[in-house]
């Protein structure tokens, strides 16, 4: 399996697009066996492990983009800390495995300084995702790309222009605002989806 150093992973995550996807895949595939071992040992299934770890690498990505990953530990160690925290939260919510919960509480308190507090990601049902995807399909691929770069990757207009081969940031800005206006109209005409999104915020 191909490998990447911690520096290369972080660069990939900040780069967005295919580089981000590659970094996420490698982190996921290289560390999943450890996660399965941990969660299997603590009343979880392989499916639980996969689900928790998918959320974990995405949470890690969010921290890198937000600049809150301080690099005090190796990425693999940090990922396992997030996994333990997430799994602890899930077990605690379900009132399961008191021994593990007590042990983890102690361990996580000791780790408190190294991992910022993290909200559990929003649970998404398939129907909601389908609805969102259908709406985004209506605005076209280029628009989806521009909006992803601005809101997910959090790129400045200069970088979006560079990535998409536009002459300058102003052209990217104009494109961005045309796209967002299109999406705004679509969302305004779908009060159900607006209410669902508002509840999630």
Partner 1 sequence: MNRDDAYYDEIHRYLLGEMSDGEARAFQSRIDDDATLLESVRLEEELQLLVKLQRRAELKQMLQNSLTDPDDDASAAEQHAPQTKPIPPKDPKTGLGGIRPPFWKYIAYGSGLAACLVAAVMLYFGNQKFDQEEAVQRYLAVGFYPIKDRKPNDAQASRNGYVAYTHGNWPTAFAQLDTTEDAPEALLMHGVSAMHIERWEHARRDFLHLEHHFNPRYADNANWFLALLDLQAQDYATCKKRLNYLIGNKGFQWKSARSLLAELPAD
**How far is 120 from 136, CA to CA, in rounded Å?**
25
**Helix H segments across the chain?**
6-15, 17-41, 46-66, 75-94, 98-111, 126-137, 141-147, 157-164, 169-188, 191-200
The structure tokens 């974990």 sit at 56
Q: Which of 13, 44, 101, 175 binds partner 1 (CB under 8 A)?
A: 44
Are 10 and 64 contacting, i.e. CB atoms less than 8 angstroms apart?
Answer: yes
**How far is 71 from 6, CA to CA, in rounded Å?**
9
Packing angle, helices 6-15 and 75-94, rounded to 10: 70
Q: How far is the CB of 53 from partner 1 (least distance, A)?
A: 8
Contact flags string 81-120 toward partner 1, x per CB under 8 A: ----------------------------------------
Q: Which of 24, 101, 104, 161 binds partner 1 (CB under 8 A)?
A: 24
Residue of 122, 145, 146, 10 lying closest to 65 (CA atoms)? 10
Per rule CB under 8 A, is residue 43 in the interface with partner 1?
Answer: yes
The tokens describing 69, both together, are 């990953």
Contact flags string 158-177 toward partner 1, x per CB under 8 A: ------------x--xx--x
Per rule CB under 8 A, is residue 184 in the interface with partner 1?
Answer: yes
Nearer to partner 1, 76 or 112 (CB): 76
The residue ranges that bind partner 1 (CB under 8 A) are 1-2, 18, 21-22, 24-26, 28-34, 36-41, 43-46, 49-50, 54-55, 57-58, 66, 76-77, 80, 121-122, 124, 128-129, 132-133, 135-136, 147-148, 150-152, 154, 170, 173-174, 177, 180, 183-184, 187-188, 193-194, 197-198, 200-201
């Amino acid at each position: 399996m191909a490998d990447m150093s911690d520096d290369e992973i972080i660069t990939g995550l900040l780069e967005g697009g295919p580089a981000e996807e590659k970094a996420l895949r490698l982190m996921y595939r290289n560390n999943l066996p450890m996660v399965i071992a941990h969660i299997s040992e603590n009343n979880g299934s392989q499916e639980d492990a996969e689900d928790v770890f998918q959320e974990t690498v995405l949470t890690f990505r969010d921290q890198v983009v937000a600049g809150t990953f301080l690099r005090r530990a190796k990425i693999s160690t940090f990922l396992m800390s997030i996994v333990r925290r997430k799994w602890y939260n899930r077990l605690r919510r379900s009132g399961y495995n008191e021994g593990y919960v007590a042990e983890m509480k102690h361990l996580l308190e000791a780790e408190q300084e190294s991992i910022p507090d993290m909200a559990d990601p929003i649970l998404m049902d398939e129907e909601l995702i389908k609805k969102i995807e259908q709406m985004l399909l209506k605005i076209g691929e280029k628009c989806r790309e521009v909006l992803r770069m601005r809101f997910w990757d959090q790129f400045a207009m200069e970088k979006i222009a560079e990535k998409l081969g536009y002459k300058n940031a102003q052209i990217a800005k104009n494109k961005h605002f045309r796209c967002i206006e299109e999406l705004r109209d679509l969302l305004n005409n779908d009060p159900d989806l607006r209410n669902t999104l508002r509840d999630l915020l």
